[in-house]
Structure 1
Amino acid sequence: MLELGQGQAKSAPAGDLIKDGTEATFMADVIEGSREVPVIVDFWATWCGPCKTLGPMLEAAVTAAKGKVRMVKIDVDREQRLAGALAQQGLPLQSIPTVVAFVGGRPVDMFQGAIPQGQIKEFIDRLVAMGGDDGGLAEALEAAEAMLAEGAVVDAAQTFAAILEEEPENAAAMAGLARAHLAMGEIDKAEGILNTAPQAIVAAPELEAVRAQIALARQAANAGPLADLQAAVEANPADHQARFDYAQALHAAGKVQEAVDELLELFRRDREWNEGAAKAQLFTIFEALKPQDPIVLTGRRRLSSMIFA
């Protein structure tokens, strides 16, 4: 999922705008790279006719963006293991060309098939907008974030709301306003704010992070007794439901690392249990945290090692 108040996105060096990607370079070029500059990933194959039409059009549009986005090309035939792992994590790669946009380490937008040049430009323009704001309200955003961190929740909410009055498509401000209401215990109101998001920012990483926080807050309200669930897991380590419930209770108690550990253990034991519930819950926790949080970085590495094993 970008931190609030980042300001303008950095520009990529001219010679580094478009490159071929592999399983070995995907994490650095796409996941980590998109934390600096939005990245477009073109999944293609040499035998694919529409790919031959779309590829040059994408490259021209990326070049025209002058460093505000980068592009990574993945040949799905050469990188079958990578494509399979990404499909397992939810990317719809059954047909190509598939183009996926990443911001802040997460997929935020996509399309399939060859589309006109005008639609490609609109796609890139949306991506650039997600990558950062124009810097005009950066100070106000920073101040609102500081208020929220210090517990001045009402003042923070008012500041975020004022920013939205001036810039309704400011994803950072909308996410901040929702988080302020979450801090007040107003889960429904926080969710209602996100439901009013303009189409241009509805998939912004900031908003996705708050959606994950809302989901976890609702789970916390229904979490079972921690001690009882721990005893159930210790009595029967093969009780997957008890382990899953125990992980939710741990997270509700603020023990995030312990919750992640239990979910990884559940995934190791049975990755398909309850339609992949352990992996889905891990992704929800990761999305709710900052991308550079050590829990996220370590947890994603451990999960990836299990998927690729």
Structure 2
Amino acid sequence: MNTQGAVDLSSLAPDPQGSQTPAPGGPSAAPASSQSGGGADSWVISVSPQELQQVVQLSAQVPVIVLIHGTDSDSERMRTALEDLVDAQQGRVLMAEIDASSPEMAQAQGADQVPVATAFIGGRPVGEFDKSVPQEQLGQLVSQMVQLATQNGMTQALPPQSKRAGGAAEEAEQELPPLHQKAHDALEQGDLDAAQAAYEEAIREKPGDEDAKLGLAQVQLMKRTSGVDLNDVRQKAAQNPDDPQAQTAVADVDVLGGHVEDAFSRLVKFIQLHQGDERETVRAHLVELYSVVGDSDPRVQASRKQLARALF
């Protein structure tokens, strides 16, 4: 995740050692300020800085995005895009919005650099991103958070935390195609095989379905990394630099953990130093990881150039 312009939330966020306990009252115990009038169900809430601790506690159950925003056009663009993406996850992600103009935000270093978002999983910040992230990449960031949470056994969904204007019309716009919804439901149940089958069926019905291809690549990554011992994977990769399986395995866990550039660089370096079937195995795996991250991601574009130089 891009950390340019990130706000230091250390003065507002709770002690990570004490943030693993869910907020009092269970998953639905969002701050009182989150409740609003009629409309479509939403998982976006407005909070004050004093309520941040309660919100971060919920990241022990689902990923939480804390967005600090202003009234400028960049804030509105990022805010609207993230609200749509979060609500599309139907409770797998929660977003808390903090108004940068509140007096309490004066204590947060860099709070004038809005909009900026911090992602929390398990009570700990796992990444930060700001307005420099292209809008089309925000969806990939939200998907990565859900993948990482699922990989760590966080498969439940929160009940709606607020309401959004728009009602049934807006809710209908967010409906997924039947097979995509089937895959989404399977992921909520932790059934990766069923999710893969649903995406594969969607691709057979519509070979040009890029969303299904992305979903399939992400599910396959989750399956490959399910239950792996991170220390063991890294140790094997260090001890076997010429083993394509060892190198692709550590690249998988790096991508899942957000270390995308490290994963790409590792595999490109392997391709530079090897020939034959081993080289082709790693090249094909690298191209698959490009699909997981998304072709529009600048890290993918940069790595493709490095791959071309390595091959030719």
Q: Same fold (TM over 0.5)?
A: no
Alignment TM-score, normalising by the size of structure 2: 0.41
Q: Structure 1 or 2: larger helix share? A: 1
Alignment TM-score, normalising by the size of structure 1: 0.41
